[in-house]
Structure 1
Amino acid sequence: MAVGIQSKVKSFFRSNLKRRRRLSSPSSEYEYKKLRNTSATTIEDDVGPKLDLQLESPFFRNLPIEIRRMIYELVWSEPHDHKYHTLRGRHIHFVDGHWINMRCVMYEDDEDLDLIQKNMDIVHNSGKGDLVMWQQRLASTWGGRHWRCEERVQYGTQKSVDGTNFMSMMLVCKRMLPEVMESILESHQFIFNDFFSAHRFFTCNPSPYITHIRHLDLSLSLPFYEYAPFIVDRPKSRVRELWEALERISCLHDLRISLDIYDHGPWRKIPERGVTAQLKNLEVLGKFTVELPPSLPIRTHTPNMQNLDAHEELPFKIVRRPPLRYWQFTPGDVERFGWKTHTKGQQSHCFITIDRAARRIPNPYLLDLF
């Protein structure tokens, strides 16, 4: 210990003191080739102790990068993977100044976008169950496919299924860190259910390894003013910044983007043409799905507010949520309703009719003109 301190003290009196040199490339292949051409097994630093580059390790010397990546994927295997539909799905969200990642506990049946309302049909017809609870799930900003995961976050139920080996693998050595980071991003599906976390992760000082993401799921429930720049064609928009960040990820294997309005009212509608036009430049090698709100039985005079033409050629698949048939129009009372359209002359008016009450609820937001 005394020898180490003495050598460190002497280093401060050297006339040719230089800064420590660090590897700047995030690519593990580049780093490996650079280190393999180095004759010495250690680099003597001018300041501090020697840094071991692990060139004598059989793991790095004898195994090619392809075999090492296969080993990393085996480390990420979890005993609970067989229970859930999404393989290695991780919800990422920013809370109280730090990042939290939790296991996606979505089952295969949850892929049915009408699953919640089907359960509400059972409760409505039998009279047994809690419609208010299902209504909260129907109005969730996390989307209909991740309401189980949202409830885990709300109630703070941390379980063993959330455990990972990320930190233990990243702390093995500096030589392994770039490969581990790339393997984590390539082997897991990252799920973002709020716009703030997604925008912060991809646009605010993003990690250099972010381009290695292969599987991405975004559920974005935005206020209308976030969509507004796409209608008036303004260049500055946080949504457009997110799209531009996604364009830099050139090796996405599958991508799902779910778009909605934050208030989740029964009349909700987004500027579909303006927003989806920004998605055409995203490069996805495999499955690319855009999930949109249900198509309402109205058309407006605003071109960007019209529904997408089903025959229009798009580089992604459009999936629409089923029309709503349940909503809580009065506090504490969930009612089943239907959509009706009344046409008089050249004007057509759309309204909601309640099943168990003789009243109509007109469209409060849009002038539905044909």
Structure 2
Amino acid sequence: MMPSSSSSMSPDRPVLQATASLQLTSAFFGNLPLEVREMIYSEFWVVSGLNQHVFSHDGLLTHCPCLLVPGQEDERNDEFEEVWQNRRRSRTGSLVVDDKWSARFSSTWNDHWRCEEEMLSDPTRRRGTLFLPALLTCKRMYLEALQSLYASVTLVFIDLATAHHSLVASPTSTTPLLHSLQFSLAMPYDVLHQHRYYPTPAQNPGPWAELCTTLSNLVRFDSLRRVTLRLDLADDRNWWEVRERWALSAVRGMLARCLTVQLPEVTVSLEWLRPYQYADGDKTPFKLERYPRLQWVGTDEGPAACRLEFLRPVER
């Protein structure tokens, strides 16, 4: 069961605990010890997918398996490089890609574009899991399986609006049970820096800072133990323009201890950027990783164009 759009949709666990039958005459609860039952629940989650995307579809929150392999490189850069070089060799005025790669280049799921592709090709796949069957069998299984589910499954968010709605604006009674979260967020420059523009308590710090505060509270007071945060810009700006230290000043408290931050590689070296960027070797309160940023950007007219920060002189 992934987060619902309203906390009222989550069952009242104290009431369930008070009214659940022990079912000691059943083979499952009467003969199998708890540790064996938990092993069975764990296999349910493995079969269903231990990483689950949470996203909005037709105005409702839903989920689908995440297919991204940790450490897997984004092959879209290689494909774009080939297309770009073909354009240079042919001296044509536009980039020509087929529909499949065009959709991949423009995916709003960021580095999880394969997950979106699979979800769109097989919409029924997200319903073929064992989450609901386990949780709807009976009250006792719901209570046991729920703890196991949220301790085992990582929820993956690919847009700030859904993450903010699910965790900040409308959390459910099961949100405190979350152990692991992943985010791959492409945000406008101003949203990423909003909390630095309006630093007084009377002013809204913005959804990004509010999300970081909520995550910090989930680590401090509840069960959250692992967070991975991948950031990029959603507008046509170079990453070196981002004040990384400003943007990540929203990360406070105990959150940093269990946080891995993934940022684009900085492609320029300017001395005046030093106070704002994390340089190699700098100590950070969180684990910092760099990844190669995508080499293209969409335009209002539709076709892709090479980002200015990746343009190289024409070889002569």
Say if 2:28 is the partner of 1:56.
Answer: no
Q: CA shift at 1:177, angstroms? A: 1.8
Question: How has the CA–CA distance of structure 1 residues 289 and 140 changed in structure 2, closer, same or farther, with 3 Å as cutoff?
Answer: farther
Say if 2:104 is the partner of 1:104.
Answer: no
Aligned residues: 291
Return the match for 1:310 from 257, 280, 295.
280
- Report the TM-score, using the length of structure 1 for normalisation: 0.64
Distance in 2 (CA, whole Å) between partners of 1:299 and 1:244 is 32
1:119 partner amino acid: E
Say if 2:114 is the partner of 1:148.
Answer: yes
Q: CA shift at 1:220, angstroms? A: 1.6
Question: How has the CA–CA distance of structure 1 residues 23 and 320 changed in structure 2, closer, same or farther, with 3 Å as cutoff?
Answer: closer
- For residue 48 of structure 1, what is the aligned residue in structure 2? none
- For residue 262 of structure 2, what is the aligned residue in structure 1? 291
Question: How has the CA–CA distance of structure 1 residues 131 and 313 changed in structure 2, closer, same or farther, with 3 Å as cutoff?
Answer: farther
1:320 partner amino acid: R
- For residue 3 of structure 2, what is the aligned residue in structure 1? none
- Pairing 1:62-73 to 2, within 5 Å after superposition: 63-73=32-42
1:53 partner amino acid: S
Is the CA contact (8 Å cut-off) linking 1:266 and 1:324 kept in structure 2?
no
- Pairing 1:178-193 to 2, within 5 Å after superposition: 178-193=143-158
Distance in 2 (CA, whole Å) between partners of 1:90 and 1:312 is 33
Is the CA contact (8 Å cut-off) linking 1:261 and 1:269 kept in structure 2?
no
- For residue 141 of structure 2, what is the aligned residue in structure 1? 176
Is the CA contact (8 Å cut-off) linking 1:214 and 1:252 kept in structure 2?
yes
Deviations 1:199-233 (A, max 9, x none): 11111231222222222111122223322333233
Distance in 2 (CA, whole Å) between partners of 1:131 and 1:301 is 42
In proportion to residue count, which structure has more strand?
1
Aligned-pair identity (%): 24
1:173 partner amino acid: C
Deviations 1:113-158 (A, max 9, x none): 4x22122234445679827864653454322x211122345x4631
Distance in 1 (CA, whole Å) between partners of 2:57 and 2:238 is 29
Distance in 2 (CA, whole Å) between partners of 1:203 and 1:270 is 25
Unmatched 5+ residue regions in structure 2? 1-10, 88-94
- For residue 91 of structure 2, what is the aligned residue in structure 1? none
- Secondary structure of the 1:218 match is strand
Distance in 2 (CA, whole Å) between partners of 1:227 and 1:177 is 39
- Pairing 1:112-131 to 2, within 5 Å after superposition: 112-113=73-74, 115-125=75-85, 130=97
Is the CA contact (8 Å cut-off) linking 1:337 and 1:353 kept in structure 2?
no
Is the CA contact (8 Å cut-off) linking 1:90 and 1:190 kept in structure 2?
yes
Deviations 1:32-63 (A, max 9, x none): xxx6xxxxxxxxxxxxxxx6623534544555
Return the match for 2:188 from 210, 223, 240.
223
Distance in 2 (CA, whole Å) between partners of 1:234 and 1:101 is 37
Q: CA shift at 1:285, angstroms? A: 7.3
Question: How has the CA–CA distance of structure 1 residues 325 and 285 changed in structure 2, closer, same or farther, with 3 Å as cutoff?
Answer: closer
Say if 2:226 is the partner of 1:254.
Answer: yes
The structure that has the greater radius of gyration is 1
Deviations 1:55-87 (A, max 9, x none): 534544555543332221122232xx8xxxxx5
Question: How has the CA–CA distance of structure 1 residues 119 and 162 changed in structure 2, closer, same or farther, with 3 Å as cutoff?
Answer: farther
Unmatched 5+ residue regions in structure 1? 1-21, 36-50, 82-86, 341-351, 359-370
Deviations 1:231-284 (A, max 9, x none): 233443222221122123334443210112222545674331123233242447
Q: Which structure is higher in RCO with an 8 Å CA cutoff and minimum separation 6?
A: 2
Question: How has the CA–CA distance of structure 1 residues 112 and 168 changed in structure 2, closer, same or farther, with 3 Å as cutoff?
Answer: same
Question: How has the CA–CA distance of structure 1 residues 208 and 123 changed in structure 2, closer, same or farther, with 3 Å as cutoff?
Answer: same
Is the CA contact (8 Å cut-off) linking 1:292 and 1:318 kept in structure 2?
yes
Return the match for 1:213 from 152, 156, 178.
178
Q: CA shift at 1:353, angstroms? A: 5.4
Is the CA contact (8 Å cut-off) linking 2:45 and 2:130 kept in structure 1?
yes
- For residue 92 of structure 2, what is the aligned residue in structure 1? none
- Secondary structure of the 2:232 match is strand
Question: How has the CA–CA distance of structure 1 residues 325 and 192 changed in structure 2, closer, same or farther, with 3 Å as cutoff?
Answer: closer
2:57 partner amino acid: V
Distance in 2 (CA, whole Å) between partners of 1:55 and 1:156 is 42
